[in-house]
Amino acid sequence: MSIWDYANPKKFIATTTPLVPWFFGLAGVSLVVGLIWGFFFTPDDFRQGSTVKIIYLHVPSALMAINAWLMMLVASLIWLIRRHHVSALAAKAAAPVGIAMTLIALFTGAIWGEPMWGTWWAWDPRLTSFLILFLFYLGYVALWQAISDPDTAADLTSILCMVGSVFALLSRYAVNFWNQGLHQGASLSLDKEENVADVFYQPLLLCIAGFVLLFLALVLLRTRTEIGRRRIRALEMRARRQEVRA
Amino acid sequence: MTLRVRDLSVARGGWTVLEGLSFDVAPGTALILRGPNGIGKTTLLRTLAGLQPPVSGEIEGAGDDVAYASHSDGIKDALTVEESLAFWARVYGQDVPADIYDAFDLGDLRHRMAGTLSSGQKRRLGLARLGVVGRRILLLDEPTISLDRQSVNLFADFLRDRHLGQGGSAVIATHIELGLDAPVLELAPFAAQAGAAGGSDEAFL
Amino acid sequence: MIALIARDLRLAIRAGGGFGLGLAFFLIVIVLVPFGVGPEALQLREIAPGILWVAALLSALLSLDRIFALDYEDGSLQLLATAPLPLESVSLAKAVSHWITAGLPLVIAGPALGFLLNLAPAAYPWLILSLLIGTPALSLIGTFGAALTVGLRRGGLLLSLLVLPLYVPTLIFGAEVARRGGEGLAVQGPLLLLAGVTMGTVALMPFAAAMVLKVNLR
């Protein structure tokens, strides 16, 4: 049997129903362990003090904010090429989760930035890129909500996702360019993954795993809800048709 | 070129409305579509015109040979009658035949802005468009709406003499007797069953 | 395609307001800025390139929803979709006529409004050049946005939400050209990137717009 069998809504629901609690459970365990480990059993950074520990929320959420969009892009392409409804609905389901991740990344960034840079917000290339990503998410969700016909909505949002990806990437480079132009040689570098020591690294990996699992659990749950909604709509339409005929 | 339709199913709003349609429309002939409101006449014509994909079945000979006329005529209020026709002729790479104005009784209105025309006159202008596009198969959706008896006759003459008589063909959804010697296709027997396959909602039921 | 551009331009002229409204909006935004930030000439000079570009972008946005909406309502778009002209060409033609009615006037009016903001003299040629190269991208991206929202009754606000993030690269490079030009720095980098973005939109956006038009006409 091929992987495309899961593109059937009923098959998808049947397969994922027993999986969702496991994903939630594993996500919970790795997040609790990872965060406690990270917050209480790692030394303070010699330069940043204990503020560095927000890294355990900031980095995983930022990572998932981008990966959620990538997942939406892949799901959109699958919908456009193979017309699998579950794929389109999964993309729809992932968007609000992606928004949440982007917001967490932005807020934790601000909380971290205040003691480190003395400001809640700087037009640093990375922060700015995330803000733009947030706008793309908003547009995507708004377009889904504005269109009543589900197939039309799936088609249009998929194309928007493709075009948006190109422009999001372009904006990322444009923003890098723009900020360099503003203050030559950016003094505030957010590149810290490269220099984290092993003591910080292991709990961080665990937190990232936790966020990935949490994302999967939420997207599966939301996809199932979307499938349910779509099914209700289909049943209502059929009932109305039979009424007209009778 | 004969328009051939084989075992065609068409859908509207995620639901199959007509299924199992097969018919031929040979050059020089017309086919009249009949059926109650909502049966899917417009959907069928839109599918033949290529505006929406069929659920299943085959359409041969349509493609670049068809011209579609919907309920709305696409008339711009700020263009004159002459400019409107010239525009469509240009889009289709054709010349405007000099006698088209007389055929639709638009001679006196040539330089009037379309916005100042009555709805019947606008409809005549919309139908005159079919005379300048040079397409062999006309797909007409209730072409006689808001036309008076005399204009209906004008249009029937146009169809018979200038279009069908020249080897063109037409599929017409209409409730009015056009006086054409054309077979009538009653669509009611082809209405899709409630459980018909192919609609996009099917996967969820 | 030329027939369609000619028709749209004729309609824009006859309907009136086609050229005027966007320009008036551009003027008003520029006039409002000093009220907001204060009249100091040096401060205005510093922000002038960016403000001019943002204002140009907003006034281009203003007329986007009319690109397809009128043709959609009166049925012309359906008829065009069944005409031998491919929808890609229709989209390109629409973008061209939008640029001629909304973009080109901004290129011409931009320098005049630069005086109001005390734009650095050296920036004028670069402002004109950047607008000339950048505004076509605004029209092309906007055409895609208009095609996306053409079937929606209250699509105007959504259109802005969808299109504005797509304008970010053009805005950044365009304003950067004008700013660097004014400060006597090298402009070649952002200028080439701006041209690159525009070329990319010329190549891609008509196809994307045609795809969504087909979906919306279904």
Q: Which partners does chain B have (≥3 C-beta pairs < 8 Å)?
A: A, C
DSSP code per residue over B141-174? ESTTTT--HHHHHHHHHIIIIIIGGGT-EEEEE-
Hey, are the CB atoms on A9 and B204 less than 8 Å from each other? yes
Q: Which residues of B touch C218 (CB under 8 A)?
A: 51-53
pLDDT-based confidence at residue A183 (cuts at 50, 70, 90): very low
Write the pLDDT tens digit of every residue in C38-87: 889 899 999 999 999 999 999 999 889 889 988 998 889 999 998 889 99
Instruction: Flag whether residue B29 sits within 8 Å of chain C, measured between CB atoms.
Output: no
pLDDT exceeds 60 at position A179: yes
B41 to chain C, minimum CA–CA distance in Å?
Answer: 15
Pick from C14, C80, C85: CB nearest B78: C14
Q: How many residues does chain C have?
A: 218
Q: Domain count for chain B, please give it.
A: 1
pLDDT-based confidence at residue A185 (cuts at 50, 70, 90): very low
Hey, are the CB atoms on C165 and A181 less than 8 Å from each other? no
Backbone angles phi, psi at A2, to 5 degrees: -100, 165
Hey, are the CB atoms on A9 and B201 less than 8 Å from each other? no
Contact C85, C4 (CB under 8 A): yes
CA A173 to chain centre: 21
pLDDT-based confidence at residue A1 (cuts at 50, 70, 90): low
Rounded to whole angstroms, the Cα distance separating C12 from C18 reads 5
Rounded to whole angstroms, the Cα distance separating B127 from B163 reads 12
- DSSP lists the bridge partners of residue B140 as B69, B172
Tokens for C154?
């209250």
Write the pLDDT tens digit of every residue in A190-241: 454 445 566 777 888 899 999 999 999 999 999 999 999 999 988 888 788 7
Tokens for B191?
């209405």
Rounded to whole angstroms, the Cα distance separating A124 from A179 reads 7
Q: Which partners does chain A have (≥3 C-beta pairs < 8 Å)?
A: B, C
Contact B8, B54 (CB under 8 A): yes
Residues with Cβ within 8 Å of residue B10, at least 6 apart in sequence: B16, B17, B18, B21, B40, B43, B44, B47, B52, B54, B55
Q: What percent of chain C has pLDDT over 90?
A: 71
Q: For residue B173, give the nearest of B53, B72, B44 by alpha carbon.
A: B44
Hey, are the CB atoms on B194 and A245 less than 8 Å from each other? yes
Write the pLDDT tens digit of every residue in B129-158: 998 988 889 999 988 888 888 889 999 999
Instruction: Flag whether residue C16 sits within 8 Å of chain B, measured between CB atoms.
Output: no
| A118-132, A206-220, C183-197: segment of lowest average pLDDT | A118-132
| Sequence spans of domains, chain A | 19-186+214-245
Nearest CA in chain B to A239: B194
The pLDDT, as a whole number, for residue B197 is 61
Rounded to whole angstroms, the Cα distance separating B31 from A55 reads 72
State how beta strands B56-60 and B3-12 pair: antiparallel
Give rounded-to-5 percent helix, strand, coil for chain B.
Answer: 35, 25, 40
The complex's ipTM works out to 0.92
The pLDDT, as a whole number, for residue A246 is 62
Contact B157, B184 (CB under 8 A): no
B204 to chain A, minimum CA–CA distance in Å?
Answer: 5
Nearest CA in chain A to B12: A149
Containing B11, the helix (H) or strand (E) segment is strand B3-12
Most confident segment among A134-143, B62-71, B187-196: A134-143
The residue among A20 and B203 whose pLDDT is bigger is: A20
pLDDT exceeds 60 at position B52: yes
Q: Domain count for chain C, please give it.
A: 1
Say whether A2 sits in a helix, a strand or coil.
coil
The pLDDT, as a whole number, for residue A189 is 40
First to last CA, chain A: 41
Instruction: Find the CATH number of the domain harbouring B190.
Output: 3.40.50.300
Rounded to whole angstroms, the Cα distance separating B136 from B25 reads 11
Contact B5, B21 (CB under 8 A): yes
Pick from B38, B194, B201: CB nearest A234: B201
- DSSP lists the bridge partners of residue B185 as B33
Rounded to whole angstroms, the Cα distance separating B112 from B13 reads 39
Write the pLDDT tens digit of every residue in B29-51: 999 999 888 888 999 999 999 99
Residues with Cβ within 8 Å of residue B80, at least 6 apart in sequence: B110, B111, B112, B113, B114
The residue among B15, B83, B90 with the most chain C CBs within 10 A of its CB, best to mutate, is B90
Q: The domain containing residue B43 runs over which residues? A: 3-204
Contact C162, C148 (CB under 8 A): yes
As a whole number, the mean pLDDT across chain A is 85
Gyration radius (Cα) of chain B, Å: 18
Q: What percent of chain A has pLDDT over 90?
A: 50
State how beta strands B66-69 and B137-141 pair: parallel
Contact B30, B80 (CB under 8 A): no
The residue among B204 and A68 whose pLDDT is bigger is: A68
Q: The domain containing residue C62 runs over which residues? A: 2-217
C-alpha distances in angstroms, A65 versus A30, A69, A103, B56, B129?
A: 19, 7, 9, 41, 53
Write the pLDDT tens digit of every residue in A84-93: 889 999 999 9
Contact C171, C197 (CB under 8 A): no
| Axis crossing angle, helix C123-148 with helix C155-166, rounded to the nearest 10 | 130
Tokens for A167?
């422009």
Mean pLDDT of the B163-182 span: 86
